[in-house]
Structures are given as C-alpha cells and as structure tokens.
Amino acid sequence: MTTPYDLHAHSTASDGTLSPTELMTRGHEAGIQTMALTDHDSTEGVAEAKAQADKLGMGFVPGVEISVSWNGMTIHMLGLGVDINSEPLQTGLAGLREFRDSRAQLIGERLGKAGIADAYQGAKDIANGGLISRTHFARFLVEKGHAKDVRDVFKHFLVNNKPGHVGGKWADLEEAIAWVKEAKGQAVIAHPARYRATRSKLRKLFRDFKEFGGEGLEVVSGSHSKNDFFTIAQHAKDFDLSASAGSDFHDPNTPWIRLGNLPEIPRGCRPIWHDWPRSH
Ligand code: AMP
Ligand code: MN
Ligand code: MN
Ligand code: MN
C-alpha cells in the first residue's frame, strides 16, 4: 500500500524544476491526497501551490525545509503547517537566503580558481529568480560537461575537499524549531538516515530536537532504503517523536524519486498527521 500523504517536495521557488502549479498537478495525477510544498529556506511558492491544490480539491500543507547547522553537521528540518505570515519565521528565512547568496558568490569564485568560469552567473540564471542552491551549480556543471549528472557533481565538486566547496553556518537548531513553533507549525527532521553521523551522534540530535520542541522524524523518505524506514521508525518510538512521509521530489527526470509511490509508515509509529487538521 502507498501512503496518501507526501509531505516533502520542491518547486522552482528553490531547487525543484516544476512550478508550484505543475508540482501540485503532478502530485494529484499520481494519486497523492495531501501534499506539502517544502522549498529550501523559502515559502515563496506556497500561495501558488495552495491555489492549485484548492482548484484540484487536494489537501495542502504549507511548509519549508530549513537549513540548520548542528554540531558541525548540516541538518535539514521541515516546518509543516506553518503560517507563512509569521514574522520571526520570515525574518529567519530571509537571513538564510542572504547567507545563500554570499555563499553562492564564493562558490563561483572557487570554481573560477579551479578553471570553471562564470559559474555564479550560470547558477543564478538557472535559478531564474529563485534562491540559489548547490543544485543550480550542479546543473550548470552538467550543462558545461564537467559531470555526467547532478549526482556525479556531488562526488567531484561542491563537497568537502573538492572544488567549489564552501562551508558556513546555517540556522541554529533550537532557533529554527522556535521559528516553526512561532508559526504554529510542526518541526520534522528531514531524511534522518542520510546524515553522515554515528548512531550515538544521531541519537544526540534526536534528543536535542525533542528537548527543543521538535515533533517528528521523516521515517519514510524517497531517499531512504526499506531498512532505513525501520531503523528511523525505532528511533521515533524511542524518542516519542511522530513519523512523517515525504518523497523529497525535485525533478521528473530523477527516475528513483517519483511522486505517489511512498509506502505507508511502519506499524506502531504515530503519524505526524494523527491530529490533523490542527485547530491553531
Ligand atoms: P544546498 O542547500 O544549496 O547546500 O544544496 C543542497 C541540495 O543539493 C539538496 O537539497 C539536494 O537537492 C542536492 N544534493 C545534495 N547532495 C546531493 C547528491 N548527492 N545528489 C543529488 N543532489 C544532491
Ligand atoms: Mn534540494
Ligand atoms: Mn534535504
Ligand atoms: Mn528536500
């Protein structure tokens, strides 16, 4: 059985390739009943996605995927059901986008030193007015023939010890959870099995997350294996966190992440949607 929920997807407002309208239409066609838009560090696409979901008679959850730095790691945290008019949330996200732009310029300079010219402008053009992510640089590098696909880029560029890598600090975990809670949303750790962390470090993350008011782990993710579902489900139970499900869809040309085929969350987990609709 597949789950009727997909609570993690991207549009052209960040590094997705479909407009919010196209994304909702495609999700609806794939049989998703309730879908969230969770662009990186931006809610720019939410109004358009909601309008389209309403038109299609589909459930919609306004969301965002916030970049967080925690103990030297970059963690992605979803805010689900957020009020996009919340001032602390929007001020926080604006700060992250400012950091993104200065980082993008630095990435461009570093790629320039590695012999790849005009990458900042190239990535900016591909982002087409939306924020600039490493995915846009990756698409530029593929276009210029430096890698065979986006996944290949992340093996040879833009990561630690490779050309175009730039470190830096995103939001603090406690602060990002506070933004989401202030916006009456629920904080969920995205794709927890993807972080390069030992089991004990991962559990420290979940402990901090719970203590600061986090509510869920993305147990079922398009980037998790079947094994990961069960490992993360057990962590969710151990820390009394709810379970979420999301594809992390970016692009119809990525064959291993499709809309509408996420399995149901494992038995014994409390779904993040157990008390929806929430009366905020
Ligand atoms: P940023 O938030 O700008 O650092 O970019 C991170 C984004 O890059 C993620 O949200 C993914 O969409 C993409 N990404 C990171 N690693 C990979 C990978 N190995 N393969 C494909 N896309 C990746
Ligand atoms: Mn992305
Ligand atoms: Mn992510
Ligand atoms: Mn994502």
Cα 29 to averaged position of ligand 3 atoms, centre (Å): 24
Cα 51 to averaged position of ligand 4 atoms, centre (Å): 22
Cα 65 to averaged position of ligand 4 atoms, centre (Å): 6
**Residue among 96, 133, 139 whose CB has most ligand 1 atoms within 8 A, to mutate:** 133
**How many helices (H) and strands (E) would you count in the chain?**
9, 8
Instruction: Specify the pLDDT at position 17.
Output: 97
Ligand 3 is a single-atom ion; what residues have CB below 5 A from it?
A: 76, 190
Instruction: Specify the pLDDT at position 278.
Output: 81
Instruction: Specify the pLDDT at position 61.
Output: 98
Q: Which atom of ligand 1 is nearest to the CA of 67?
A: 2
The residue among 113, 223, 90, 128 whose CA lies nearest residue 166 is 113
Instruction: Specify the pLDDT at position 255.
Output: 85
d(CA 12, CA 45): 8
CB 185, CB 215: distance < 8 Å: no
Instruction: Specify the pLDDT at position 279.
Output: 56
Helix axes 134-143, 87-113, angle to 10 degrees: 30
Scan for tokens 């358009």, then name that residue.
Answer: 48
Instruction: Specify the pLDDT at position 280.
Output: 47
Q: From the CA of 154, which ligand is nearest?
A: 1
5: Cβ–Cβ under 8 A, 6 or more apart, which residues? 32, 33, 34, 35, 245, 246, 262, 271, 273
Q: What is the pLDDT along the chain (280 residues), one digit of tens a residue?
A: 899 999 999 999 999 999 999 999 999 999 999 999 999 999 999 999 999 999 999 999 999 999 999 999 999 999 999 999 999 999 999 999 999 999 999 999 999 999 999 999 999 999 999 999 999 999 999 999 999 999 999 999 999 999 999 999 999 999 999 999 999 999 999 999 999 999 999 999 999 999 999 999 999 999 999 999 999 999 999 999 999 999 999 999 988 899 999 999 999 999 999 999 985 4
Question: What's the burial of 102, exposed, middle or buried (CB within 10 Å: 0-12/13-18/19+)?
Answer: exposed
Specify the 3-state DSSP secondary structure of 218.
Answer: strand
Please give the radius of gyration of the chain, using alpha carbons only, rounded to the nearest integer: 18
Cα 26 to averaged position of ligand 1 atoms, centre (Å): 22
Question: What's the burial of 203, exposed, middle or buried (CB within 10 Å: 0-12/13-18/19+)?
Answer: middle
**Residue among 96, 154, 159, 169 whose CB has most ligand 1 atoms within 8 A, to mutate:** 154
Q: Which atom of ligand 1 is nearest to the CA of 135?
A: 8
| Ligand 1 pocket, CB under 6 A | 15, 40, 67, 133-135, 150-151, 154, 250
Cα 250 to averaged position of ligand 1 atoms, centre (Å): 10
CB 263, CB 220: distance < 8 Å: yes
Q: From the CA of 77, which ligand is nearest?
A: 3
Cα 136 to averaged position of ligand 1 atoms, centre (Å): 9
